[in-house]
Amino acid sequence: MRWVTLAVVVLTVGGALAQFTPRNPECIAPAGAGGGWDFTCRSVAQVMQDLKIVTQPIKTTNVTGGGGGVAYANVVTQRSDDPNLIVAASPATTVRLAQGQFSRFTERDVRWLGAVAADFGLVAVKADAPWKTMQELVAAWKADPSKIAVGGGSAVGGQDHMKVLLLGRAVGLEPRSIKYVPFDGGGQALTSLLGGFIQVFAGDASELRAQVEAGTVRVLGMMSPRRLPAPYANVPTLKELGYNVEWVVWRGFYVPKNMPAEAYEFWLRALRQVERSPEWARIREQNSLGQFFMAGAEFQVFIDRQVNQFRNLSRELGIIR
């Protein structure tokens, strides 16, 4: 009888997992349109629809403010058990958590779902900028840091700012001399670069590919471990140039902490299906993304470690005490 009861329980649980289907599913991009979080939501949502994982289109909602903090607070306080919600995340999220920038909230106030790709930091200027190489930019930057505004799609102390500080440290600049301009997402930063309001953009490969192919921006250096394929094939890595700076950006998601188990399992399976699909492989290739997949408990451990690493790095760079 015990075995019969156990079998019934297992079948019941399995049936519940199989029966869950999101209603009015939504993905929050915690910044404006055109940036990495926006891309993560829209591209993964499209693949889920193409694969018929979801029966309704996944709505992308841009929630701006606080380097992702406004969206984070909203999920924790207002939607803590929503089964239909996923939220785009990246190291920009874990950096802010490490620095205590999301008010009283910590990385344990949400549940981490998984990551499906790796993006890579870069240094870019307008196509008509006077600097043709990274060495020329560094020489001008060191000669007069006040004349070069470096913008990024994150708040002061956030991911893009840390890229700039790491590069500044590598070339021998005093952190206080660096002129960093924060924007709410990579899309805004790119618009400001093209408009001439900033001279340098510390962005990511997926954000700039279309502009690189259109010839409107010039990438001077990649923060990837090795060179990327076209259109970045001729761009050296910063390490090649003698600057010990690398920044790998995982693209993934968190969900409300109290999301029902059957909903969490649904989204886990959905991410696994996306990552294994030819459709996602094409999107990675089209957007210069690398393979990187981690989900569930393993991803939670990874997040805990990264938050701790970023906390230590933020102290080294003088962002927090």
Domain ranges of the chain: 2-118+249-316, 120-222
pLDDT per position as a tens digit, 201-233 = 999 998 899 999 999 999 999 999 999 999 999
User: Does the pLDDT at position 6 exceed 60?
Assistant: no
pLDDT greater than 60 at residue 108 = yes
Q: Determine the residue type at 203.
A: G
**SS3 state at 85:** strand
How far apart are the C-alpha atoms of 295 and 289, rounded to whole Å?
Answer: 18
- What is the structure's pLDDT at 16? 39
Instruction: Write out the DSSP string of 207-268.
Output: HHHHHHHHTSEEEEEE-SSS--STTSTTPPBTTTTT-----EEEEEEEEETT--HHHHHHHH
Per-residue confidence (pLDDT) for residue 14, from 0 to 100: 40
Same CATH topology for 2-118+249-316 and 120-222? Answer: yes
Fold of 2-118+249-316: D-Maltodextrin-Binding Protein; domain 2 (3.40.190)
How high is the pLDDT of residue 18? 52
The pLDDT, as a whole number, for residue 237 is: 97
Q: Which residues have C-beta within 8 Å of that of residue 18, sequence separation ≥ 6?
A: none
Could you give phi then psi for residue 223, rounded to 5 degrees? -100, 25
* Percent of the chain topping pLDDT 70: 94
- For residue 75, the model assigns a pLDDT of 98
- Assign domain 120-222 to its CATH superfamily: Periplasmic binding protein-like II (3.40.190.10)
Mean predicted confidence (pLDDT) in 114-124: 97
Residue 12 is predicted with a pLDDT of 39
Q: Which residues contact 85 (CB under 8 A, 6 or more apart)?
A: 25, 26, 27, 28, 75, 79, 255, 256, 259
Q: Other CB atoms closer than 10 Å to residue 1's CB: what's the count?
A: 5
State both tokens at 306. Answer: 């990264």
Q: Check residue 5 and give its pLDDT.
A: 42
**pLDDT tens digit sequence for 148-178:** 999 999 889 889 999 999 999 999 999 999 9
The predicted pLDDT at position 214 comes to 96
19-73 pLDDT, tens per residue?
899 999 999 999 989 889 999 999 999 999 999 999 999 999 999 998 899 999 9
Write down the mean pLDDT value for the chain: 92
Global pTM reads 0.87
Where does the pLDDT of residue 184 fall: very low under 50, low under 70, confident under 90, or very high at 90 and above? confident
